Structure 1
Amino acid sequence: MSTFQFTSIEPHQLKQEIAATVRTELRLMLEEFKNLQPDDLLTRKEAAQFLKISLSTLNGWKKTGKIIGCGTGNRVYFRRSEVERCLQPLSMKSR
């Protein structure tokens, strides 16, 4: 075990320095964790509600490839990023 001797720093200053360093490291770890989280999955009903369309319209969009679904067994899900991607900005037509 190593021994450290602090001669030019007061205990409250050391405490502040340690706290600041720990906060910085925790923020960095949190950002990395956010980037690693999987994309939220929405059910058919949740995706339709998010897009404000009917389930039959959502099914039609899925069949034509406008939106890509994923799933397991007989369950169909949509990634939130995929649902947001299918929303395209409308161009403003000049009058």
Structure 2
Amino acid sequence: MNQIQFIGTTPQQLRNDINNDVKTQIDELKKCFQPKNPEELLSRSETAELLKINLSTLYLWTKKRKLKSYGLSGKVYYKRSEVESALIALND
């Protein structure tokens, strides 16, 4: 942080110094700012289609806690990021 000396400083110089410091801080924040992407929710059908399985298999995987489901207004959804992270890479 810069040291500001008030003696011999005009009000306009002080304003300019403050504005420059604020702009510098905002620019630093912009570099670090990562907007949060909204989580994509998939319906049961979309999830089953993504995984190329039928709805009964999806139900069993959910019941066995291989996948986590979320309820909203009586409907079941899955978070795409969690479905994708549940996939396991197989070594050939």
1:6-63 deviation per Cα after TM superposition (whole angstroms, max 9, x unaligned): xxxxxxxxxxxxxxxxxxx7xx58x622xx1221000000011111111111011000
Paired residues, number: 68
Which one has the largest radius of gyration?
2
Q: 2: distance between equivalents of 1:83 and 1:37?
A: 17
Aligned to 1:32: 34
2:20 counterpart residue number: none
Please report the RMSD computed on the Cα atoms of aligned residues, expressed in angstroms: 2.4
Alignment of 1:45-60 (within 5 A): 45-60=45-60
TM-score (norm 2): 0.62
- Provide the C-alpha distance between the structure 1 equivalents of 2:74 and 2:62, rounded to a whole number of angstroms: 15
Q: Give the alignment of 1:1-95 within 5 angstroms.
A: 28=30, 32-33=34-35, 36-92=36-92
Give me the TM-score of the superposition, normalised by structure 1.
Answer: 0.60
Taking only the aligned residue pairs, the percentage that are identical comes to: 41
Write the letter of the residue equivalent to 2:34. E
Structure 1, gaps ≥5 residues long: 3-24
The runs of at least 4 aligned residues of structure 1 exceeding 6 Å deviation read none
CA–CA distance in 2 between the matches of 1:72 and 1:88? 28
Q: For 2:87 and 2:40, locate their aligned partners in 1 and report how far apart those are by CA, in whole Å.
A: 17
Offset of 1:85 from its aligned partner? 1.4
